[in-house]
Amino acid sequence: MNILRYSAFTVLPLPNSSVPCGHVTLVCAMHLRKAIVATDSLGISDYVLPGVNGVLASRRMRRAWRMKLPVCGQIRRRSLASAKTAQRYGAENCSEARIRSDLAAVLTDWQIPLEPEPLQVAATPAR
C-alpha cells in the first residue's frame, strides 16, 4: 500500500485476458486516487473505465502497452478530476456497504431470508 500510495499511477499487467485477478489492487488504487493501466481481462473492465479512471491494454499487444503507459501518465498529471472520479467510483461501487447491499439484493431475488430463522432445539424430556 505504501508503494501504491506514493506512485504516480498503477500498472496491472496480467498474463492473459482470462486471468480474473488484481481487483484488490485496482480498488486500492482507486481509493488512493491513482490512474490505472491494466490488461483488458475478465472482470477488470468492470472496474477500469477507459478515460475515467484508467486505460485498458491487450496483453498480446506489447506495443499497445508502450503506448498506453504515457497516456496513463498524462491522465494522472492532467486530471486530478480523473483521480477523484476513480476514488468516487471506488467509494460508491467497491465499499463494504455496497457489497452488503448487492448481496442483500441477490439474496432477496433468490428468496433467501436475510435473517436466519432461530434454531429450533428439541426439548428433552425431564427425568
Question: Tell me: the pLDDT tens digits for 49-108?
Answer: 777 777 887 766 656 666 666 666 565 555 445 666 777 777 787 777 887 888 788 878
> Are 10 and 36 a contacting pair, CB within 8 Å?
yes
> Are 25 and 10 a contacting pair, CB within 8 Å?
yes
> Are 22 and 12 a contacting pair, CB within 8 Å?
yes
Element (H, E) at 87: helix 80-93
pTM of the model: 0.57
Domains of the chain with bracketed CATH = 2-109 (3.40.50.2000)
What pLDDT, on a 0 to 100 scale, did the predictor assign at position 66? 65
**Strand (E) positions, the chain?**
9-12, 35-39, 54-57
Cell numbers found for residue 116: 436466519
* Closest alpha carbon to 83 in 46, 50, 53: 53
Q: What is the spatial distance between Cα 14 and Cα 82, in angstroms, rounded to a whole number?
A: 23
Q: What is the spatial distance between Cα 11 and Cα 34, in angstroms, rounded to a whole number?
A: 10
Question: Tell me: the pLDDT tens digits for 17-45?
Answer: 787 788 888 888 888 888 788 888 888 88
